[in-house]
A = this chain, B = another copy of it.
C-alpha cells in the first residue's frame, strides 16, 4: 500500500504529531502518544501502533516489552492534519504501564485528581519490579 503521509503536518511539534488511541469496540480513549514520520510509517505498514518517545528520544513499538500491542483498525486525521486518531484493539488487560486499562485513570473530583478505577493488572509482573 502506498502511503499518503506527506500531507500530515509534523512541523508544529518539531517533527511530531499527536496520536490519540481509542478502543475500537468500547470507544474508550486509552492513551495519547506522539509519532514522527517514521513511527507513522511503521504503524501503517505493520498494523501495530508505533510511537516516538520524547523522554527516551527513540522510536517505540507499544507493547514491545509488555506484549500489550495495539492492533490498528483505522486511522483518521483532523482538519489541520496535525493530529491522528487511531481506533485499535488493545491486546492484554491494560494499555497503561501503571497497570490500568487506560492511561486516563485519574479524574478531577472537587478540584482534586483522584483515581477513578482499579488496576487491571499488576505492572510489576509485566514490566518487572518497580523497586
Using a CB–CB distance below 8 Å, which chain A residues touch chain B?
Answer: 1-4, 7, 12-13, 18, 20, 22, 26-29, 31-32, 44, 54, 74-81, 83, 85, 96-98, 100, 103-108, 110-113, 116
Contact across chains for B77 and A106 when beta carbons are under 8 A apart: yes
CB pair A76–B112 under 8 Å, yes or no, is: no
Main secondary structure of the interface of A (DSSP, over half): loop
Q: Is the CB of A1 within 8 A of B111?
A: yes
**Chain B, residue nearest A4 (CB):** B112
Contact B44 A32 (CB under 8 A): no
- Count the copies: 2
Interfacial chain B residues near A3, Cβ < 8 Å: 111
Evaluate contact between A76 and B106: CB separation under 8 angstroms: yes
A52 to chain B, nearest CB (A): 13
Q: Assuming A7-B113, A85-B29, is B103 touching A79 (CB within 8 A)?
A: yes
**A103 CB → nearest B CB, Å:** 4
Give chain B residues whose Cβ lies under 8 Å from the Cβ of A106: 76-78, 81
Q: Pick the contact of A116 from B76, B78, B83, B116 — CB < 8 Å?
A: B76
* Min C-beta distance of A128 to chain B, whole Å: 17
